[in-house]
Amino acid sequence: MSTHAMSTEHREPSFIRKYIFSTDHKTIGLQFLFTTLIFLSIGGALAMLIRTQLAWPFEQIPGIGKLLYSEGDGTLLPEQYIGLVTMHGTIMIFFFIIPMLSGAFGNFLIPLQIGARDMAFPRLNLLSYWILWPAFIMILLAMFIEGGPPSAGWTSYAPLSALPNAVPGSGTGQSLWLVSLLFVGAGSIMGALNYITTILLMRAPGMHLFRMPMTTWALLITATLVLLATPVLTSALILLILDRSVGTHFFLP
């Protein structure tokens, strides 16, 4: 009787598999962390441009003024200033603060604090991270596209965000802003579903709800609020896109 020798060789996963497309909650948490730090640096640079304009109004921005505002001599015009404020607020709120607090800390801490091996839906967890990148690419394109960056403020209240000709930047730049935030909202909903399911169903034996650390409670409440609020925000973004593209009247009389 012959037997087949079983190979016991252990193959280390490739760098891409281990650090880029890993479904491990710690790796995804670190991906959120380092990615949001990139977003922070860009948002911080925009904040410095805002302070430069306030300190030396109507003067050429040294170094990168002509690169950013090539149509003129590198001077930031009033109609471009509100676009700068819009982009700074959008990046800091939707691409730094929310992904940092929820995505980075939530992914890294929740399984460790409740005794779970991983998140309830590891692949959905990975998707909630990668969906940030098309959103960020679109928001960056909106800064440099013809017609100017979105200028309706980071809250994008109608009618400034609903009328394609309301202010400079209300054209293609504003449309890219709306689609970008749709991706961010989808990623937030995925993450919230994952956090709630993990906390409620995957706690270690003996880890009752009232034995959980306060950090986990805070993340659970945050995920619940996100799950309640983000679908409403996403629906409003879709209605705005319909007003701008097909002529509906959800926000316009």
Domain with 101, as residue range(s), is: 15-245
Confirm whether 5 is domain-assigned. Answer: no
In a domain, 4, yes or no: no
Q: Please state, in angstroms and rounded to a whole number, the distance separating the CA atoms of residues 241 and 173.
A: 12
Give the pLDDT score at 128.
94
6 conformational bin, left if phi > 0, alpha if psi -120 to 50, beta if neither? beta
pLDDT of residue 5: 47
Mean pLDDT by groups of 10 residues along the chain of 253 residues: 50 74 91 94 91 82 62 69 90 93 92 92 94 92 82 84 75 89 94 95 91 94 95 93 87 80
pTM here is 0.85
- Residue 88, in any domain of the structure: yes
Asked if the structure places residue 56 within a domain, the reply is yes
CATH (domain of 169): 1.20.210.10
